[in-house]
Amino acid sequence: AQSVAQPEDQVNVAEGNPLTVKCTYSVSGNPYLFWYVQYPNRGLQFLLKYITGDNLVKGSYGFEAEFNKSQTSFHLKKPSALVSDSALYFCAVRDVNRRGRQLTFGSGTQLTVLP
Amino acid sequence: NAGVTQTPKFRVLKTGQSMTLLCAQDMNHEYMYWYRQDPGMGLRLIHYSVGEGTTAKGEVPDGYNVSRLKKQNFLLGLESAAPSQTSVYFCASTWETGGRTGELFFGEGSRLTVL
């Protein structure tokens, strides 16, 4: 089985400050890990992914995420938050060997960047 | 470039009525998915398809049926709607191979209310 936990329903940060959105995962094999963002009344948009290689992956809009195998975490980060980053963020995981390529999503974290 | 298109975008049903949601993608993707999104629960997989003529159950398949008669279309049916099926439904698709591992492309969602 594969699962994802996002321990924070809501994260508030001041504009210009660094932000972190937390994610931990569980899979039986090796993981593929993803972050998606959802703006109001829109579908999810892909931000970044970890497949293999460098543990620090860079994605769209200045976001990055660090894969930590020992802690089974994949936290999303950005050095300087913008008001326009305010959105709902989802972490997702897939076991490398899972047929069908379906992702399991976390419950989401609402990020609010305060001006 | 339309991407993933869902119709209808909004629908209100009475308990016991039936309806079909249509998902169409123009990216020649092999894999297609139907998710439902409920507050605090993230996205949960209903059914998916790994190619034309094939379907499989996801995490929450009860009360839903699907068909993939054409590669570009994936239909989600509710035979007898229940209030518990009030949700926002998202269709997604992705490639089979080609190095583009795992990214899902989402439609903008279909909001269904069952009274």
Instruction: Report how many domains make up chain B.
Output: 1
Domain extents for chain A?
3-114
Contact B108 A43 (CB under 8 A): yes
Asked if B67 and B77 count as a contact pair (C-beta separation under 8 A), the reply is yes
Range of the domain at B84: 4-114
Q: How far is A74 from chain B (nearest CA, A)?
A: 16
How many Å apart are CA A67 and CA B51, to the nearest integer? 31
Nearest by CB: B33 against A45, A51, A102: A102
Q: Name the closest residue on chain B to residue A9, using Cα atoms.
A: B40
Checking if the pLDDT of B71 tops 70, the result is: yes
Nearest by CB: B42 against A94, A99, A106: A106
How many Å apart are CA A60 and CA B4, to the nearest integer? 20
Nearest by CB: A43 against B56, B103, B107: B107
Residue-wise pLDDT for A1-51, tens only, equals 789 999 999 999 999 999 999 999 998 888 899 999 999 888 899 999 998
Residues of chain A contacting residue B33, judged by C-beta atoms under 8 Å apart: 102
How many Å apart are CA B63 and CA A60, to the nearest integer? 37
Give the CATH number for residue B80: 2.60.40.10
Q: Name the closest residue on chain A to residue B47, using Cα atoms.
A: A102
Query: Which pLDDT does position B99 carry in this prediction?
Result: 43
Residues ≥6 apart with Cβ < 8 Å to A16: A80, A81
Residue-wise pLDDT for A77-89, tens only, equals 999 999 999 999 9
Tokens of B34: 């139907």
Q: What is the topology classification, in CATH, of domain A3-114? A: Immunoglobulin-like (2.60.40)
Q: Cα B83 from chain centroid? A: 18
Residue-wise pLDDT for B2-41, tens only, equals 799 999 999 999 999 999 999 999 999 999 999 999 988 8
Contact B103 A42 (CB under 8 A): no
Contact B102 A102 (CB under 8 A): no
State yes or no: cis peptide before B8, omega within 30 of 0: yes
